[in-house]
Homo-oligomer: A and B are copies of this chain.
């Protein structure tokens, strides 16, 4: 089975299973608790393979027998984001599974304003001009949010404006 991954197709089943295996191994190595609700949250993000709001994720967790209140989703999502298994897309207040699981990276997103599809890209940490600005200011960067908004290939055709 294939499914859209960003703007292309790919083997979705393998993609899910790889990401779960990677997360499991990462947690085992660091003695992090990859608990059922955290695992299920990652599964939900991976299965949908697009950005999801916390309440949408929560609906799936509730349906799977976990708690039904917002902190259930927010805590699991915070765990996944903290350890790099998922990212928060700040411009959408939404979450997405990481497409480069395992690799340490600065995530960057291409967000289509028409169809809301999001593709994760990788950028060079200090090669974006921001590093220079931070050095000049004496600012110590810990995390970077890089999000581009525009039109994806297919939406450029349907809305050529």
How far apart sit A16 and B127, CA to CA, in the bound complex (Å)? Answer: 33
* Chain A residues at the B interface, C-beta cutoff of 8 Å: 6-7, 90-91, 108, 110, 112-113, 119, 121-124, 127-130, 133-134, 137-153, 156
Number of identical protomers: 2
Q: Is the CB of A139 within 8 A of B90?
A: no
Q: Is the CB of A121 within 8 A of B113?
A: no
> What residues of chain B lie closer than 8 Å to A151, measured between beta carbons?
139-140, 142
Interface-centre pick from A112, A123, A130 (highest chain B CB count, 10 A): A130
Q: Is the CB of A137 within 8 A of B150?
A: no
How far apart sit A150 and B135, CA to CA, in the bound complex (Å)? Answer: 12
Given A7-B137, A139-B153: A146 and B128 interface contact (C-beta under 8 Å): yes
- Interface residue from B6, B143, B153 paired with A148 (Cβ < 8 Å): B143
- Interface residue from B127, B144, B150, B156 paired with A147 (Cβ < 8 Å): B144
Given A108-B133, A121-B133, A129-B124: A149 and B153 interface contact (C-beta under 8 Å): no
CB distance from A137 to the nearest CB of B (A): 6
